[in-house]
Structures are given as structure tokens and as C-alpha cells.
Copies of this chain bind each other. A is one copy, B any other.
Amino acid sequence: MKNRKRTTIYDIAEKLNIAASSVSRALNNSNHVNEATKKLILKTAAELNYKRNTLASNLRKGQSKTIGVIVPFINQNFFSNVIAGIEEASYQKGYNLIICQSNELQSKEIKCVNTLINQHVDCIVISLSVDSNDHRHLQNVIDNGIQLIQFDRVADELETLKVINDNEQASEEAVSHMIEQGYKRIALLEGPQNLQIFRQRKTGYLNALKKHGMPILDELIIENAWTKELGANATRKLLNLPKPPDAIFASTSDFSALGVLEVASAMGIKVPSELGICGYSNEAFTEITSPSITTIDQFSVYMGKTVANLYFQELDNKEETEVIPKIISIKPKLIVRSSTKRIG
């Protein structure tokens, strides 16, 4: 709070009795300024503890070197990892991050988008909130000349850059694995079907069953079981069926899978011998439950880096070759653990 007034290029100019434009050029390392004066300016700038006012600079240059990120919750493992990845890649390029949480609410998501547009961010990175239905606010981003990149939870119909997981394939692989382990009645806990990722995971599940010539049993497919509690409730319901499942694929999240595991334990049902369990996301805890939970790794940090790098590539490429793929799909990896290992 000492010098409320910060030193500007004018202060430096005045002190050295030169024009502010020269100071600006020197600080930007332009070659339109004599080497000697440049050194002098830099020295004086350091002495006066000069800090460039990025606001002014950005205003003039019409860019902000800032990327806005909107996620449902910052403190969910998957998202915080993606953000960490974005941050790492952006930092190297001298870009800053503005982070917003949509709290899974479209209404807040819209506000976040507007804030970021006002902030003149160069790029908005978003993973949709669960109740996101129409996408006018995203169209608005594009209309305002801001690069839009969607990741993970994407609106398919919008033609933007996207970084996604191959959910369908991963899901199919997981279910196939369970079938190979001898499970016959595999239940599916599905997430809100307005989100593409959950539709894809369901498709993967159905594909696997078809491929192995297994029947699709509607009573084993439970909607909207994507939190630990909902997963637990669904499990109670499933295990009390006349013909209960012998495996549960919690396609929504590991939290849901954890709910499954807890209910099974409480009911004295043995995992994996009597009930197989597979989650999604490879949350840290899946490794340390007993038994440990089979799950799918989404390479979240890598995903974040990919998002950022995609933006930077697109930036370099402007008006040039335009050969960059608009959609990058990252292949997730099935992590087989005890909760589904019945044989071998």
C-alpha cells in the first residue's frame, strides 16, 4: 500500500527525457530503438520497479492472453486435473487462466460465459453442466469471435474444437471384460442422458452385450445413478430384484461405484465373486478400497494439456493450412482391479 501510484512508461520517459513510445519499444524489445538507449531504459525500468499494465496493453492490442475455463466444479478430481493440465501448457505460452464454476447449473454457466466474454478472453474452454440443454450461450461465444473449445461433456451439434474421450469404446471394453470374467447379468448405472458422454457409455454397454450375444435386460438399466447416494440406492433396488445382477457397471463415476461397493458390503455380498463392480474415471480412491475397483482412466491431466495445445495450434494456424483436426479423441484405458477379477 505504499505507492498507490505505480510507475508507467511515462514516468520512465520523463525521467530520461525521451518519448514514451521509445520506452514502449524498448520494453518490447523492438529493434527500432538504439541498443544503448534500450539498455538505459531497461535499467531505469528495473530501478523504478516498473510493471507493465497488462490491462492497458491488452486493450490496445485487442487480445488478453487469457483463457477462460468453465467447469461444473473445480474441486472434482477429474476437472481439477484437467485444469492443472491446461494451466501447465498455458503457462508456458504466457497465457493466464480465469476459472469459473457452473455448479452444474445452466443458469450459472450462462453468467460465466458472459463474464468471460466481457473479460475479452481469447478462448473459452468448457465442459457442460449437467442440465445444459440449449446452447445459445455457446453460439454467442463464437459470434463474439472467441475461440471455443469443448471437452469431455460436449454439445455435439456445435461445430467447435473438441477434446473428448472415446467413451463408447472404453465402455464397450469394460463390459466385454466383465463378460469374459463370466458375469452373466450385468447391470448399468447410467447418467443423465442429455449429456452425450453418458449416451455414449450406454451405447458401449449395449454394443458389448450384442457382440457377445447377450440379452439386454431393461430392468438392469438404471437411470440417473451418478452420485454415490444414487448409486447406492440403485444397488439396493437391483440386488432386491427376483433375479438380481451379478455385476454392476457404474458408467457414471467411481463415486457411484463406491456406493455400489458399500451397499454390497453392507448386504454381505462378496465382491467380486458374487458381484462384479466397475466404475469410471480412475479416481484415486478406487485403488485403495477393498477390494480395489476396476475403472477407466481418462488421462485427465493429459486431456487438459491437449485442450490448451489445441488452442495454440489453432492460433498458429490461423488462415494457413487448416489441417488441424477439429475433434481430438483420447482413448481411455481400462484399469482392471480386484472388483471384477473372478478368473485368472
Residue positions of A touching B, CB distance < 8 A = 1-4, 6, 49, 51-56, 58-59, 64, 66, 73-75, 77, 80-81, 83-84, 87-88, 91, 96-101, 114-115, 117-120, 140, 142-145, 258, 284-285, 288-290, 301
- Given the interface contacts A2-B142, A288-B289, A290-B290, does A120 sit within 8 Å of B53 by beta carbon? yes
Q: Enumerate chain B residues within 8 angstroms of A2, measured Cβ to Cβ.
A: 142-143, 145
The answer to whether A96 and B96 have CB atoms under 8 Å apart is no
Given A49-B140, A75-B80, 14 additional A-B pairs, CB 8 A: A6-B144, A53-B118, A55-B64, A56-B59, A66-B98, A75-B81, A80-B80, A98-B98, A98-B99, A284-B285, A285-B285, A285-B288, A288-B289, A289-B289
As for how many copies of this chain the complex holds, the number is 2
Separation of A66 and B68 alpha carbons in the complex (Å): 13
Which B residues are CB-close (under 8 A) to A87?
A: 74, 99-101
> Using Cβ atoms and an 8 Å threshold, which residues of chain B touch A99?
83, 87, 97-99
What are the residues of chain B within 8 A of A144 when measuring CB–CB?
A: 3, 6, 49, 51
A342-B74 Cα distance, complex, nearest whole Å: 38
Given contacts A54-B118, A54-B120, A117-B51, contact A74 B64 (CB under 8 A): no
- Which B residue sits closest to A139, measured CB to CB? B2
CA distance A143 to B301 in the complex (A): 36
Question: Are A84 and B77 neighbours in the complex by a CB distance under 8 Å?
Answer: no
Cα distance A74–B77 in the bound complex, in angstroms = 10
The distance in angstroms between the C-alpha atoms of A301 and B76, with both chains bound, is: 12
Are the C-beta atoms of B91 and A84 separated by less than 8 Å? no
CB distance from A171 to the nearest CB of B (A): 24
How far, in whole Å, are A100 and B88 apart by their CA atoms in the complex? Answer: 9
Contact flag A1-B145 (CB < 8 Å), given A53-B118, A59-B53, A98-B96: yes
**A117's closest neighbor in chain B, by CB?**
B51
A142 to B2 alpha-carbon distance, docked (Å): 7
Q: Chain B: which residue is nearest A53 at the CB level?
A: B120
Smallest CB separation, A118 vs chain B (Å): 4
Contact flag A73-B84 (CB < 8 Å), given A49-B140, A49-B143: yes
Asked if B91 contacts A80 (CB within 8 A), the reply is no
CA distance A155 to B302 in the complex (A): 33
Collect the chain B residues with CB atoms within 8 Å of residue A117's CB: 51
Q: Which of A99, A100, A115 has the most CB of B within 10 A?
A: A99
Most chain B Cβ neighbours within 10 Å, of A3, A88, A96: A96
Residues in B whose Cβ lies below 8 Å from that of A119: 54-55, 96
Q: How far is the CB of A236 from chain B (nearest CB, A)?
A: 19
A3: chain B residues at CB < 8 Å are 143-145
